[in-house]
Amino acid sequence: MTGPDAGPASGAAPRPVAGPAALHTVEPGPYGIPVSLRHVLDGALVAVKGGLRHIGALATIRREAARAVAAALPEGGAAQVSGALENAHRHADTTQIAAVRTDLETRLRPFSRTVLHDVARALDPQGARLYLSGHVGIRIMPPQRSVGAGGGELAGLEGFLTPRDAHVDSWFNTAVNSVNLWMAVGPVRSGNGLLFYPDAYRRPLRHDGHTLLPGQPIGAPADIELDPGDILLFAGDHLHASQPNTTDETRFVITKRLCVGVPRYPSGATGWVPYEDPRLWGTRWESWATWRSRLTAGGVRDALRTARGRGGR
Ligand SMILES: O=C(O)CCC(=O)C(=O)O
Ligand SMILES: [Fe+2]
């Protein structure tokens, strides 16, 4: 590991946040993004200022968002929203916003792979191979008061279009050495972002495999604010929750995940996802890109689970 610690850039004071944890900020420089992912896996919350602009991705994401809006809304409404999804709820109902989200997921899936690869390459050497997940989360959170009572279009969109209660990603499908990239496309403000519970980091917590069970002390939440283009890095083991959106802006974030070293999966996890070795991309071995993550205890457990499922048990 050669990179400096993910401390504040150029001696600036850490940005204050509510709660006990400071949000560390770093600025990309001519040599890339000076972040130690080990520090992130130790529980640090790190904002890479202008990270999406640094890799030249923000304009493309906005352009695709404008196309998805144009496809889902009548002309007048689409023109009003344009690429600025923070206004979406003013001109679109929940069903239309759900359609934009679904369309954007398809449109951005291949590009998000490039984005993650570009970020991984811009990072300082981490002293470990980085494995990249195909997961992409398009998270468009309209103000709560504008979200309809919830018909079929909201089913399964918890954390993507409706708030997600406190959880740890590694309880279900995320490796324990995974780092989340929570990438702000529009502004993230107090009242529409994510809450983190740093005191609960890697503490044993009771949960139902999906969500924290009530009645456990988890400490005060840290409330994170980001500017468009900022990338928040946080460990997949962090306890976090969507803040029900009380602002008058729709919040628009895209998420990706990468693993520091060979993925390690918790034995009790309820799900599993592969991570790819990007060195094999574009080679004739590309179809083997997930083999290393399959050749783990977690990968084998998942293969057995799938085989048992096929056997009808
Ligand atoms: O964006 C949200 O509100 C939920 C995000 C989340 O849970 C995640 O990225 O793991
Ligand atoms: Fe999460």
Written as tens digits, the pLDDT of the chain (313 aa) is 333 333 333 333 333 344 434 799 999 999 999 999 999 999 999 999 999 999 999 999 999 999 999 999 888 888 887 768 899 899 899 999 999 999 999 999 999 999 999 999 999 899 999 999 999 999 999 999 998 765 667 778 889 989 999 999 999 999 999 999 999 999 999 999 999 999 999 999 999 999 999 999 999 999 999 999 999 999 999 999 999 999 999 999 999 999 999 999 998 898 999 999 999 999 999 999 999 999 999 999 999 989 988 765 4
Q: For ligand 1, is residue 19 a contact (CB within 6 Å)?
A: no
Q: For ligand 1, is residue 250 a contact (CB within 6 Å)?
A: no
Q: How far is the CA of 220 from the centre of ligand 2 (A)?
A: 18
- pLDDT the model gives residue 2: 31
Tokens of 115: 């984005």
Burial string for 189-207 (b: 16+ CB within 10 Å, else e) reads bebbbbbbbbbbbeeebeb
Which residue has the least CA distance to atom 7 on ligand 1?
159
The domain segmentation of the chain, as residue ranges, is 9-310
Report the half-sphere exposure of 198 (CA within 13 A, side-chain side).
Answer: 18
Cβ atoms within 10 A of the Cβ of 143, count? 18
Q: Are strands 23-26 and 45-48 parallel, antiparallel or unpaired?
A: parallel
48: CB partners within 8 A, 6+ apart: 25, 26, 27, 28, 33, 35, 54, 230, 231, 232, 233
- pLDDT the model gives residue 309: 83
Ligand 1 atom index nearest CA of 193: 3
- pLDDT the model gives residue 151: 61
Residue of 101, 161, 182, 226 with the most ligand 1 atoms within 8 Å of its CB, for mutation: 182
- Collapsing DSSP states into helix, strand and coil, what is residue 277? coil
Indicate the length of the chain as a whole number: 313
| Record: fold of 9-310 | Jelly Rolls (2.60.120)
Residue 268, Cβ density class (10 Å: 0-12 exposed, 13-18 middle, ≥19 buried): exposed
- pLDDT the model gives residue 153: 72
pTM of this structure: 0.91
Which chain residues have CB less than 5 Å from ligand 2, an ion? Answer: 169
Which residue has the least CA distance to atom 4 on ligand 1?
159
Q: For ligand 1, is residue 244 a contact (CB within 6 Å)?
A: no
